[in-house]
Chains A and B, each alone.
Chain A
Amino acid sequence: MVGSPVLLIAVPLLAAFVIPLIGMIWKELVRIVPGLVLAYMLVLSVTLLVEVNQNGTIVETIAGWKAPWGINLVYSNLTGLLATIITTLGFLVWMFSYRFKRNVDFEPAKKYFIFLMMLVAGATGIVITGDIFNQFVFIEITGISAYALTAFYTGRNSAEAAFKYLMMGSLASSFLLIAIAIIYSQLGTLNMAEIASKMHTMDPVFKVIALIFFITGIGIEAEIFPLNGWAPDAYTEAPGPIGAAFAGVVVKAGIYAVIRMVFTLFDIPAAHDFLITIGLITLIVAESTALRQEKLKRMLAYSSIGQMGLVLVAFGIGTHAGVFAALFLMLNHAVIKPLLFFSGSYLVFNSKEKRISEVNGLGKFMPYTAGLFALGSFAIVGLPPFAGFWSKLSVLTAAADEGLLLVIALVLIVSVIEIVYYFRVVNRIFFQEYNKEESVVPHKPRFNAIIAMTVLAILILVIGFYPDAVTGMLHSASSDLLDKSGYIDNVLQVGQSLIR
């Protein structure tokens, strides 16, 4: 036993309280300590994942109260996989932004790293907790860190984006609280496993109302279609690496919360059709909006929303193959989109407007960054030798098994749209003439940023050429998600064996 899941939450919280004190001793510690904590979280989550793979789900109780009564943390194949994705990205984002804002005052830099660490810790908490109110608390932790990071630049638009995000996030948490109130008033418990086991006794009307409130509440973090108004602005106005953190960390946690609700807590079959419908709408609207964008980060943001729509569609298929495809998509998106954000933020580093038209001919001046951006673009649209290809293929096969021809047709059309807008950018980078007036002044990426991007690129290539490296893990994670009674038994029984 190397540690336990609770340390994934407790250590960053401890570090967050310690940082203001040690910052008075040596200022550099403020940057180093969050990195150490994130690295520790990464190592811990990986070792725990290995252990879970061998010995089965770990259920951790808090304060010695067995499962239905106390709060418990569930570290299974699924949650462990997502927690590993989240902590990996958190560490890479830290590494990318290590020397970020170095020339600026001490105060904002200190807070930047605290917020980044808490964003990752909160998202991990959302994923591994087994209690709906505890999940609400972690959503708030993630939310406040995200608002603060969005408003980090003192330019005029960032505060507006942050306010928009805060308004929607605050409404979302209100809806979540209403849903929690409905569930508690009916079942008298807050533990997810016990809710799932008692759900059949609940009045169907209440069930539907509660599920609607839940999905509206969490859908805002998960960027589901009518609720994603905050996302493009927040991605655009936040510092570059934070866009990657949103795409890789916050959204993953939100999607996990949605699917946990649909697959485990609520036994409403129509919810799957609902996921497919809402996912398709999200996909089409977001991708066709992305086509019209003029700013690079906005385009990436809409593309990210579209990918989440595709993930929801794949989850909505509901079979083992569908869930596998969805998890594969999430993994790939978590690897590729941060690379695009990282390299994209260096491409338009010196630009004020961050327009796509400004990247003309940058391929000559910063070949490495531009090459990585191109690699990310190829991977995300699903060109054969890269990572995205396998996940798109598995979505299509999963849909074909169920005979969902409309889904297949729409996904293919959308892929074409994706190819158009990504290749437009790649074409501008490599095949257009560099123009002194219009184009950006190239900016050489720092050493730590290059390492972070290279790690992501290697991951993409590994998944692309040798997908078997991850498919085993994804298969066990997807059977874990579909095994509802197993989840309930694990939580309630392991809880009982730990009675003091």
Chain B
Amino acid sequence: MYKFLEYGVYGASILLILIGLYAVLTKKSLIKIVIGLSIIDGGIHLLLITIGYLRQGTAPIFSPGFENAAAKMVDPVPQALVLTAIVIGFGVTAVALSLVIRLYRHHRTLQIDEIKSLKW
């Protein structure tokens, strides 16, 4: 049963990455592309956290009286990395959406094939 869980969590995060990539590669709407990018980010974050998970582990926070509980704690490093990655991803998403707004201002459309004044 636990094996299924393992496949399930990894499979779901990889599926998220693939779905996001599909959206980025095939969709024509600019906002859909940005949505795809944020879905990819979500998948990668879940993947990283899953890597750091420890069965029956506790969160990496020491409470009074349990200063020696380090052996049972989940890996804190991927959590720190994901923390950084989430904030960076949000910044990039915001810049992308501001570019979308500006493209819309000029072209009055969100369709990629109508904006194509440069060669894609």
Do A and B touch directly, given a CB cutoff of 8 Å in the complex? yes
Using a CB–CB cutoff of 8 Å, the interface residues on chain A facing chain B are 133, 137, 140, 143-144, 147-148, 151, 156-157, 159-164, 166-167, 170-171, 173-174, 177-178, 180-181, 184-185, 190, 229, 233, 236-237
Q: In whole Å, how far is B18's beta carbon from the nearest beta carbon of chain A?
A: 12
Which of B48, B106, B107 sits near A177, CB closer than 8 Å? B48
Answer whether A178 and B103 are a contact pair too, CB < 8 Å, given A140-B92, A144-B91, A161-B118.
no
By a CB distance below 8 angstroms, the chain A residues around B48 are: 177, 181, 184
Which of A170, A177, A180, A236 sits near B96, CB closer than 8 Å? A170
By a CB distance below 8 angstroms, the chain B residues around A157 are: 117-118
Are B99 and A171 in contact, with the CB atoms below 8 A? no
Which of B41, B81, B99, B102 sits near A180, CB closer than 8 Å? B81
Are B120 and A181 in contact, with the CB atoms below 8 A? no
Q: In whole Å, how far is B59's beta carbon from the nearest beta carbon of chain A?
A: 19
Which of B78, B81, B95, B106 sits near A156, CB closer than 8 Å? B106
Q: Is B85 an interface residue (CB 8 A)?
A: yes
Chain A's closest residue to B84 (CB) is: A137
Which of A148, A151, A161, A170 sits near B37, CB closer than 8 Å? A170
Q: In whole Å, how far is A172's beta carbon from the nearest beta carbon of chain B?
A: 11
Q: Is B74 an interface residue (CB 8 A)?
A: no
Q: In whole Å, how far is A383's beta carbon from the nearest beta carbon of chain B?
A: 32
Q: In whole Å, how far is A332's beta carbon from the nearest beta carbon of chain B?
A: 29
23 pairs, A vs B, C-beta closer than 8 Å: A133-B81, A137-B84, A137-B88, A140-B88, A144-B92, A144-B95, A156-B117, A159-B103, A159-B106, A160-B115, A163-B99, A166-B96, A167-B24, A167-B33, A171-B24, A171-B37, A174-B40, A174-B41, A177-B85, A178-B44, A184-B48, A184-B77, A185-B51
By a CB distance below 8 angstroms, the chain B residues around A190 are: 77
Which are the 6 A-B pairs with shortest beta-carbon distances? A156-B106, A185-B51, A159-B102, A163-B99, A233-B118, A174-B40
Q: Add 9 more A-B contacts to A160-B118, A173-B88 (CB < 8 A).
A: A159-B103, A161-B118, A166-B96, A167-B33, A171-B40, A177-B48, A184-B51, A184-B78, A236-B118
Are B106 and A181 in contact, with the CB atoms below 8 A? no
By a CB distance below 8 angstroms, the chain B residues around A156 are: 106-107, 117
A214 to B81, CA, bound (A): 17
A236 to B107, CA, bound (A): 19
Chain A's closest residue to B118 (CB) is: A233
Are B118 and A166 in contact, with the CB atoms below 8 A? no
By a CB distance below 8 angstroms, the chain A residues around B106 are: 156, 159
By a CB distance below 8 angstroms, the chain B residues around A159 are: 99, 102-103, 106
Q: Is B100 an interface residue (CB 8 A)?
A: yes
Interface string of B94-116 (1 = CB under 8 A from A): 01100110110011000000010
Chain B's closest residue to A158 (CB) is: B102
Q: Which among A144, A151, A174, A233 has the highest number of chain B CB atoms within 10 Å?
A: A174
A147 to B109, CA, bound (A): 21
Which of A147, A163, A173, A236 sits near B30, CB closer than 8 Å? A163
Q: In whole Å, how far is B89's beta carbon from the nearest beta carbon of chain A?
A: 8
A156 to B114, CA, bound (A): 13
A19 to B78, CA, bound (A): 34
